[in-house]
Amino acid sequence: MPTLRQTSLPASGRREAPCTPCRPTLADPGAARRLFDQAENQLGPLDILVNNAGVVAGDPIADTTDEVFDAVLAVNLKSPFALIREAARRLREGGRVVNISTLNTVLVGPRMAPYASSKAALDCLAAPITRRRAGNR
């Protein structure tokens, strides 16, 4: 688990907001919980999660192995899912989840099918979060 390092990034107006970038490995199921535990211990209650992970497999679909496809899904979909689920349980009221996606979900290049499909699934995963009612996590 990486040590979280707090920095400040410009927010709207003249204020600055604390921001802690990190690169967790989410291969095991408890990693998202531990990441949130560590962040809350160092920073207090959290307001936002930004999912900005992505790997691209650049082979044509006919040459993409199951292992490569699974690896792309693990990084681009399963890891963000684990973080979104934990965020839904732990972000403060009014908290936000930001998922970085891609234009390739609608403009799919010939070597982008695994990447594009994983990001399209991430977009679908985010839809219920944006529509949820307060208190219905």
Task: Map out the domains of the chain with their CATH numbers.
Answer: 48-130 (3.40.50.720)
133 is catalytic: no
Whether the Cβ atoms of residue 93 and residue 58 lie closer than 8 Å to each other: no
Confidence at residue 17, expressed as pLDDT on a 0 to 100 scale: 59
C-alpha span between 136 and 7 (Å, rounded): 32
Which pTM does this prediction carry? 0.77
Q: What is the pLDDT of residues 31-85, one digit of tens each?
A: 999 999 999 998 899 999 998 888 998 889 999 999 999 999 999 999 999 999 9
* Identified catalytic residue from 32, 112, 115, 118: 115
pLDDT at 134 exceeding the cut of 50: no
Contacts of residues 54-63 at CB distance under 8 Å and 24 or more positions apart, as own/partner, are 54/100, 54/102, 54/115, 54/119, 55/115, 56/112, 56/115, 57/111, 57/114, 57/115, 58/111, 58/112, 59/111, 60/110, 60/111, 61/113, 61/114
C-alpha span between 41 and 46 (Å, rounded): 10
